[in-house]
Structure 1
Amino acid sequence: MNDSSRRKAVHPRPTPADLPLAGPGSDPASVRAHLAQADPRTLLMSLTHLTRNPEYLTRFAAVCDPANVESGGARPEADELRDLLTAVLTGEHPAAADAGPMPTGLFQQMASTYAHEPVDDEFIPLLLDQCGFANLPGTPEAPAPDRPRPPEGFHVVVIGAGLSGICAGVKLGEAGYSYRIYDRNKDVGGTWLTNIYPGVGVDTPSHFYSYSFEIMPDWPEFYSKGSYVLDYLHRCADGHGVRDHVTFETEVLSCAYHEATGRWLVTTRGPDGVESTEWADAVVTAMGFFQGSVRPDIPGLDDFAGPAVHTADWDPDIDLSGKRVAMIGTGASAMQVGPAVVDDVAALTVFQRTPSWIMPRRKDDLTVSDGARWAMRHVPYYAEWFRFITYWLASDSNFVRVVVDPEWTMPDVSVSAASEAMRQWLLAYAREELADRPDLFDKAIPAYPPFGKRILRDSNWYRMLRREHVDLVTSPIERITPGGLVTADGTETPADVLILATGYQVLPMLDKIRITGRGGAELADVWGFDDPRAHLGLTVPGFPNLFVLGGPNSAPNHGAGVNIISEAQVHYVLGCLSLLHERGARAIEPRQDVHDAYNEAVAQALEQRVWSHPSVRSYYQNSKGRVVVSNPWRLVDYWSMMRSPNPEDHIVS
């Protein structure tokens, strides 16, 4: 990010030029008091980054030892480094503000110290870009793409104004493109606008689930509620002028490619029912993986006498107070809504088909301290380094746990030694949480390996199950009556309200839009009902200048990182368009043989991933069991693939 774009940022970040601190609360005593609440590992990175003194990494290495992080140890070292950083921030000790870009070797040494393990060379470009360091003063220089300005009148249509659509709008605008975003909702925000069920929030660390170019210092919790995420997206869209390019309450009905002009004719329908058309030189779909709620196919559901509400279509006026509530499902939304409503209801019966693996709570209070938020706002490099550790611990560090070891001796329950260690850790947590309820433990533990399905973060799920007025039912639901549910064992459970936490439609992808490419070929026919494939998860032969953000096999299901995927794919889109302009061409699409070879590589890699385990059935798979959602590689691998399109892999005409 260059200096001019940083000045326009919605969330400006401190730099060495802002030192020494000035204004109220900048005296040494006040600064030291703030730092007392901030993370000492991250403070060590800021101190080293500001002073360029690598000796601090050895001197204070104990604060980065995971044992000390968990126990709150290494107090003498932590106190001393806080004193030193206070001196730097207040001007008592000078920072290395004019030293030029930091040597990459020192940056890598800092990352390895913080992670408490080696951070290899391959990660450095991703860290500079995705942790917000790129071209920030005093950090290693990262190459910026030298892209040509788009031709006058070159117009892009984006479908969807959620996380990916807003990102596309920001980057298209920065690159000088004319663009228009269409969204069926009344505002920007995508899933964070439409999902309003109780307890909705991120299960990815908030400081990571955000844009690298808009690192926000004021997340109130490490895993923030949906309203805060939505507010963040609103401010990003407004601050970068994206909202001015969005047409709301409008559905895209079709996109038809015209070979004679090399343009797409996009047909939309507005809130008044009137259809309109618009020409576009490129189309970017940014509709996300989830395309609406899935209601369970259970006999009698429509006959239920009380309210039956899906988590994806939550009615904010529904009153659960004192009601007997039956919740169907134990996935991600159930994991949040159940604990959020348990105190309000008279009885909560949870109907489970398959249990989920649950990540332990790090601590009961997940509120970000005032001191940590102060450090995010005032201490140079603190926010960027904290984002680094959330990526490192929540994303690619998990990858080893999803890779199948063909020599592993316990293939029924895990896929490798790392997978088994993960399983034992999760089991130990469940035993601790359910120590007095062995009946629940037997019901709540999955039979498939960890990460086979989406792994979930505990939001008091186990503690909710232990409540006296909560019951967990594993017998299949046979039918629903006007007054309750009947299971296969003959038991009838009375209910006043049904909560359907039964998931979202993933397949068929893009089925709401008729997309027609070269020769009149329809994408729905090319993909079939549930067998989509794309080159790099993004482009399809025969459909020039069409880019599918969040397309087939592009989800990082080994950990957090949807935000990285979105930014990487948008970066690749801009690279493809730049290639067009450089060659004076109109159309770009992947070669069929390149597309096929890539998808064969995906298939071979997925055979050695936990998502293909024979015990697993999930929304990652299509009706034949082929994994169509998950990306089989690390985030760093996929991010690297998306740096620049290979001209030889494409037909450019």
Structure 2
Amino acid sequence: MAVAEKKPLGDTWEAQLAEAVKLANVPTLLMVLVQLTGDLNWMEAPYTPKRGRGLDDNDSGGLPEEIQDEIRAAAFGEIREWHQNGNVELPEPSGDLAATMLSRAMGEQVTPAYGQIVAAELADKSFKRTPVDAPEGFNVLIIGGGMSGICAAIRLKSAGIPFEMIEMAQDFGGTWRENRYPGAGVDTPNHLYSYSFAQYDWSHYFALRDELFDYFRTVARDNGLYDYVRFGTKVDRAEFDEDAGEWIVETSGPKGNETRRVSAIFSAVGVLSIPKVPPIPGLESFPGPACHTAEWPEDLDLTGKRVAIVGNGASAMQVVPAIADKVSEMVIFARSKQWAAPFPQFRKPVPEPIRWLLREVPLYQKWYRQRLAWTFNDRIHSSLQVDPEWEEPARAINRTNDRHRQAFIDYMKAELGERQDLLPDVLPDYPPFGKRMLLDNGWYRTVARDHVTLVPEHLKEVRGNTLVAADGREFEADVLILGTGFQATELLASLDVIGRDGQRLRDVWDGDNARAYLGSTVPGFPNLFTLLGPNTGLGHGGSVITPVESQIHYIVRLLEQVFEKGAHLVEPKPEVYENYNERVDAAHAAMVWTHKGMENWYRNSRGRVVALTPWRHDDFWRMTRDADLEDYLLDA
């Protein structure tokens, strides 16, 4: 039994609890009850929730109202008592029990092994913040002040390892600092798209850009990171000095060109950081405002303008509905088609009583997060495996994938309403999830509007104000917006990295064929750690923060073991590196992203998947719990 400090119970707190419990998610309340009371009967009939549909929170659990009322009443009483005396009968469920609990909360079977990551997060043991005994003089340079860089800095600070951060921009925030186009937001619920160790009082279930930007700056500020960063500075070159066993890093910024020596580099430059601008003939001749969504001008006024959008990926799908009411005409050049799922919580605010509950009752917040993690992270992973016996591979990869396809088509038809003539122009000709699944925030309804024209072709040429589609049609525009994505396969393209024997990382990776052991280390480049590196991105959904936390946990643990051996340099053995990447490629070969005929930004010019992991979150989490020094070459 765990006993926390006794707290006074006031009428106001009790009244707020009563109001919150009335609105609370019932399956989440059930798991809170199990932990507070230790009574496993709360997981059995008649309290067992039914499986939710789609991405819905399933607030009622599909249970009769009288059962819901019984659960809410019991939860009110137990939470009230916990607030008074701090008693939690099951403070740290085992992995097996955690898997069972999540299975009951979801109304479906959760993979037993998944319980390990759930149990660790419930006990706040997933992302450790313990000191590390580093050798004197050992120091780290973190390149980038976005999500990965902030997380790395927090861990290094808690470890007591000296570090400095370099950031090109004037503030923290990464992609949420740069992307300020209308409608920019997250496609993962922000109670999940947040650090496991730094929750936040979110105003919406899916936050828009400004709130996300504020979150990352707040975490950086709360952890004192502004004292460790140099803004407005760019890393131009990093070369390994074999004689000194250090990295020589060249930077440019307000103080001019500088050179510094560091023991290790944490690259946190991000994946979606370099805008991709297609080579459209005549693009420079467009006389009006023209910009990539990642470079949106703060003073861009679209009121009454004829606006053209190139692309229909995640950025375009967000910006189009957001600006539709302002423009006089809109034309969208959408060469490829995207699958998009219903988005029931789009722009839905979190009710104040629920915000209060998430702040005041940690167990509720943790279980709410774990339910989101299963729904958005790994629930569909098994359905992304190709069934070689499936008879209709052109439309789906297996029976479950085909059911998803039909559900998404039915949704498209409903959203298009009277404009069923547009269905051929929006219906993808590849299996669902072959590209990252998007969430529909009004895209289908917007393209069906009278002043919007959807062109299922690429923009072939620009002739001043005239835009020529591949089919020869011409359109006039006042503003041109490129929603054409990023150079996702050319990792670390923004700097020159030179390792042992003068080998350049871009040559080792042959441009767009990046590989790393556990997405983190590369032979010949000692003490270079690539956060959100090759094959760590997510195609099956979920929060990319989860694998980044796993990477950082692993790297610091690796360094700790290296230091214990009296060494200070580490790099993976070539055979370990090769074997790991062979396993990655073999796993991808059996998944939807490499399905015949698929094209996506996950794959490089050779067709190899570079950006995504083939693993489930809990698989990668287990791979990165501890480092095996047998996988590495050490150097004192």
TM-score per shorter chain, which class? over 0.9
1:390 match: secondary structure: helix
Partner Cα separation in structure 2 for residue 92 and residue 231 of structure 1: 32
Partner Cα separation in structure 2 for residue 151 and residue 202 of structure 1: 40
Matches within 5 A, 1:382-421: 382-421=364-403
Q: In the alignment, what sits opposite 1:152?
A: 136
Aligned-pair CA distance for 1:110 = 1.9
Q: Tell whether 2:167 aligns with 1:176.
A: no
Native 8 Å contact 1:88 1:95 kept in 2: no
Change (3 A) 1:609 1:538: same
Moved more, 88-97 or 171-180: 88-97
Partner Cα separation in structure 1 for residue 9 and residue 279 of structure 2: 63
Q: Tell whether 2:72 aligns with 1:89.
A: no
Partner Cα separation in structure 2 for residue 651 and residue 503 of structure 1: 38
Matches within 5 A, 1:186-265: 186-216=170-200, 218-265=201-248
Partner Cα separation in structure 2 for residue 102 and residue 206 of structure 1: 25
Change (3 A) 1:122 1:62: closer
1:493 match: secondary structure: strand
Matches within 5 A, 1:446-595: 446-595=428-577
Look up the equivalent residue of 1:617 and give its one-letter code.
Answer: E
Native 8 Å contact 1:157 1:283 kept in 2: yes
Partner Cα separation in structure 1 for residue 528 and residue 564 of structure 2: 18
2:164 match: secondary structure: strand
Native 8 Å contact 2:175 2:273 kept in 1: no
Aligned-pair CA distance for 1:144 = 6.2
Partner Cα separation in structure 2 for residue 72 and residue 112 of structure 1: 15
Q: Tell whether 2:35 aligns with 1:49.
A: yes
Aligned-pair CA distance for 1:361 = 1.8
Moved more, 567-576 or 431-440: 431-440
Native 8 Å contact 2:129 2:159 kept in 1: no
2:44 match: secondary structure: helix
| Match 2:25 to one of 16, 39, 47 | 39
Partner Cα separation in structure 2 for residue 188 and residue 600 of structure 1: 36
Native 8 Å contact 2:333 2:455 kept in 1: yes
Look up the equivalent residue of 1:583 and give its one-letter code.
Answer: K
Change (3 A) 1:18 1:412: farther
Q: In the alignment, what sits opposite 1:11?
A: none
Look up the equivalent residue of 1:115 and give its one-letter code.
Answer: M
Partner Cα separation in structure 1 for residue 449 and residue 579 of structure 2: 53
Q: In the alignment, what sits opposite 1:6?
A: none
Aligned-pair CA distance for 1:292 = 1.7
| Match 2:336 to one of 354, 357, 381 | 354
The one-character-per-residue Cα deviations of 1:226-275 (angstroms, maximum 9, x if unpaired) are 11111111111111112211111100111111122211111111135x11
% identical equivalent positions: 38
Q: In the alignment, what sits opposite 1:111?
A: 102
The one-character-per-residue Cα deviations of 1:365-422 (angstroms, maximum 9, x if unpaired) are 6221122111101224000001101110001112122211111111111111121121
Native 8 Å contact 2:117 2:621 kept in 1: yes
Change (3 A) 1:538 1:91: closer
Aligned-pair CA distance for 1:475 = 3.2
Aligned-pair CA distance for 1:74 = 2.4
Partner Cα separation in structure 2 for residue 331 and residue 650 of structure 1: 40
Gaps of 5+ in 1: 1-14, 136-141
Partner Cα separation in structure 1 for residue 368 and residue 596 of structure 2: 38
Native 8 Å contact 1:16 1:50 kept in 2: no
Change (3 A) 1:475 1:645: same
Change (3 A) 1:265 1:170: same
Q: In the alignment, what sits opposite 1:66?
A: 52
Q: Tell whether 2:606 aligns with 1:624.
A: yes
2:140 match: secondary structure: strand
Change (3 A) 1:652 1:80: same
Give the TM-score normalised by the residue count of structure 1.
0.92
2:554 match: secondary structure: helix
Look up the equivalent residue of 1:301 and give its one-letter code.
Answer: L
1:66 match: secondary structure: coil
Partner Cα separation in structure 2 for residue 357 and residue 313 of structure 1: 26
Change (3 A) 1:195 1:59: same
Q: Tell whether 2:360 aligns with 1:373.
A: no
Native 8 Å contact 1:447 1:615 kept in 2: no
Change (3 A) 1:470 1:179: same
Q: In the alignment, what sits opposite 2:424?
A: 442
Native 8 Å contact 2:35 2:91 kept in 1: no
Partner Cα separation in structure 1 for residue 330 and residue 557 of structure 2: 52
Give the TM-score normalised by the residue count of structure 2.
0.94
Change (3 A) 1:100 1:356: closer
Partner Cα separation in structure 1 for residue 129 and residue 297 of structure 2: 46
Native 8 Å contact 1:257 1:516 kept in 2: yes
Change (3 A) 1:447 1:287: same
Aligned-pair CA distance for 1:100 = 6.7
Native 8 Å contact 1:51 1:96 kept in 2: no
| Match 1:290 to one of 247, 272, 279 | 272
The one-character-per-residue Cα deviations of 1:302-357 (angstroms, maximum 9, x if unpaired) are 11121112101000101100111111110000011111100111111111110110
Partner Cα separation in structure 1 for residue 624 and residue 486 of structure 2: 28
Partner Cα separation in structure 2 for residue 227 and residue 93 of structure 1: 34
Partner Cα separation in structure 1 for residue 6 and residue 19 of structure 2: 18
Partner Cα separation in structure 1 for residue 618 and residue 458 of structure 2: 41
Gaps of 5+ in 2: none
